[in-house]
Structure formats: structure tokens, C-alpha cells
Amino acid sequence: MRTLVAIPVYNEQRYVAAVLEKIRRFACDLLVIDDGSTDDTPSLLAKLPVDVIRHARNRGYGRSIRDAFRWAQCYRYDWLITMDCDEQHEPEALPEFYKAIGRNDADVISGSRYLTVDHNDDAPPADRRAINQQITQRLNQVLGLNLTDAFCGYKAYRVPALKKLDLREDGYAMPLQFWVQAAAKDLRIVELPIRLIYNDPKRSFGGPLDNPDCRLGHYLQVFEAELARFPERFAAHTPAAVTCCHEGSR
């Protein structure tokens, strides 16, 4: 079973070398998608034994994940694991993902920071937790899912299943598009508990998306637009009221 671990990065000079060194203890094949970093991240990556996709400019989180999908498909991996590079996703959790992969009962293994309660976990910023709760509830109601964490980027994907998807969203709203298509294509989804870690509660989403109301409106807008692509599957749902918003660069 060939598994690729892919890590999107953007201006992560503070973490990238140490995080990748930890990941290499648990993974043989690593891909880094450098999303137009303007700090020392590119020069640090050049010294490390990892494959790198380099964006000439910042193209967005969703675009980085889509590039990882294409790489995994091109090189015929069986599974792809995505994780962040800011020390909020622990490399030590990779063996748990491998165990879940080995059970062979899922197409998507999605990390959840809220599946279990750990009193040693960090407290998330209030606006992020509230948005996650609202979006997760909406996904479950409309798509018939049973998620506890709609936005965790620590995931494992069965690579052949990715051929069923047609993802186009470049930014942080990509998970909304992904969940709609995963439900529409009947992908098997399970959640895996991971620790809730917040090292940078003030991290920017880019431009107007730093406003929580705008961010929630944008997520709902992308969600409703994606549902409209599958009218035969989701025609019975009641559309949510959304506030238009222009997405930032990332």
C-alpha cells in the first residue's frame, strides 16, 4: 500500500524544517506544496529530501490540496494523507491514520478535533469554533453525513476515489465543495480523533475573510453553489440565506 503525505505551506519558515523532520520518522514519501511563500521557506525546502511543487504566487489552500490530489494520482499512490505544517497536526498521529487505512472500510478518513473530549486540548478561537459548528451541522442536515469537524485538514484519501471528484475551489472554502461531492458520489467517510492544537489563534484567512460573518457567508455561498450542481441528489434541501463576500488570496 503506497501512501503519500502532502503538506501545503505558505510562509512557514518558523516550522517547516522541524515539522518535516518529524514527519519523515513516520512517512517515506513526502510532497510539499509551497503556495508562493515570500519568506525563507523555499530556501529551507531546497535543503530537505522532499518533493516540492512551487507556486510562483499565492494561489490558495484549495489549489494546493488539488495539486496534491493530482500528484498522488499521477504517481499512482494508493492513499494520500494531507496535514498542515504549523505544528497543529501532530506527525505522531500518522500511525493511527495508517491503522485506519488498513481497516479498508473508508474512502475518506477525516481527522476530527471534536470527536472526543480531551481536557489537555487547546481552546479554539470562539469565532472559528462557532463557524465550524454551524457549517458541520448544515453539512450533516443536508448531506446526510455524521461529521463532528468540517474543516480539519488532517485527512487520508483513497486515491482512486479522487477520480470521482471535480474540485474547482482554490481557497479555504474548498472543504465545502469536497463534502458535497463526497456525499454525491457516495464516498465512505469515517472520522479519526486528533488533538485540538491552536498555535496561532490570530492567523489570517486573507482580506475580508478575516471577518467571521463574511467568512461564514462565503462558506455558505460556496456550499449552496455546489449543491446546485447536483439537483437530482439535493433538490429537497432548503437553501440557506447567504451574504455575498469576496474571498481573499488565501
- pLDDT value of position 86: 85
Alpha carbon distances (Å) from 104 to 94, 100, 158, 213: 16, 7, 10, 39
Would you call 31 helix, strand, or coil by DSSP? Answer: strand
Domain ranges of the chain: 3-202
Return the sign of the alpha-carbon dihedral for residues 130, 145, 91, 77: negative
**What local confidence, expressed as pLDDT, does residue 248 receive?**
46
d(CA 238, CA 132) in angstroms, rounded, equals 20
pLDDT, residue 150, reads 96
Query: Which mean pLDDT values do the consecutive 10-residue runs of the chain (250 residues) have?
Result: 96 95 96 97 96 97 98 98 92 97 98 79 78 96 96 97 97 97 98 84 77 93 95 79 53
Predicted TM-score of the model (pTM): 0.91
Q: Which helix (H) or strand (E) holds 192?
A: strand 189-193
3-202 topology per CATH: Spore Coat Polysaccharide Biosynthesis Protein SpsA; Chain A (3.90.550)
Q: Would you give the DSSP letter of residue 92?
A: G
pLDDT value at residue 147? 97
Of residues 13, 24, 179, 158, the one with CA closest to residue 85: 13
Pairing status of strand 79-82 against strand 108-112: unpaired
Q: Which residues contact residue 44 at a Cβ distance below 8 angstroms, ignoring those fewer than 6 apart?
A: 13, 16, 17
Q: How far apart are CA 82 and CA 49, in angstroms?
A: 18
